[in-house]
Amino acid sequence: MTPLVKICGLKTKAEIDAAIRHGATHIGLNHYAPSPRYVDLDTAAELRKYAGDRVRVALLLVNASPQVTGAAWSAVRPDILQFHGNETPEWINAVKQNTRTEAWKAVGLKDAGTLQRSLQYRGIVDRLLFDAPAQAMPGGTGTRFDWSLLVGHRHSIDWGIAGGLNAANVCDALAATNAPLVDVSSGVESAPGVKDVDKIAAFLKAVAAC
pTM listed for this prediction: 0.92
Mean per-residue pLDDT for 94-109? 95
pLDDT digits (tens, 9 = 90+) for 37-76: 999 999 999 999 999 999 999 999 999 999 999 999 999 9
Question: What span, in angstroms and rounded, lies between the C-alpha atoms of 129 and 31?
Answer: 17
pLDDT at 136: 45
> In a 10 Å sphere around its CB, with 0-12 CB exposed, 13-18 middle and 19+ buried, how is residue 97 labelled?
exposed
Question: What span, in angstroms and rounded, lies between the C-alpha atoms of 29 and 31?
Answer: 7
pLDDT at 142: 62
Domain ranges of the chain: 4-209
pLDDT at 40: 97
Question: What span, in angstroms and rounded, lies between the C-alpha atoms of 8 and 104?
Answer: 13
Task: Out of 3-17, 76-90, 106-120, pick the least confident.
Answer: 106-120
State the alpha helices, DSSP H only, in the chain: 13-21, 41-51, 66-76, 89-99, 112-117, 170-177, 197-209
Question: What span, in angstroms and rounded, lies between the C-alpha atoms of 163 and 4?
Answer: 16
pLDDT at 162: 94
pLDDT at 133: 77
Question: What span, in angstroms and rounded, lies between the C-alpha atoms of 34 and 105?
Answer: 19
Domain 4-209 matching CATH 3.40.390.10: the answer reads no
pLDDT at 2: 86
pLDDT digits (tens, 9 = 90+) for 108-164: 998 888 888 999 999 999 999 999 876 544 545 567 888 989 988 889 999 999 999
Residue 196 pLDDT exceeds 80? yes
Q: What percentage of the chain exceeds 90 in pLDDT?
A: 84
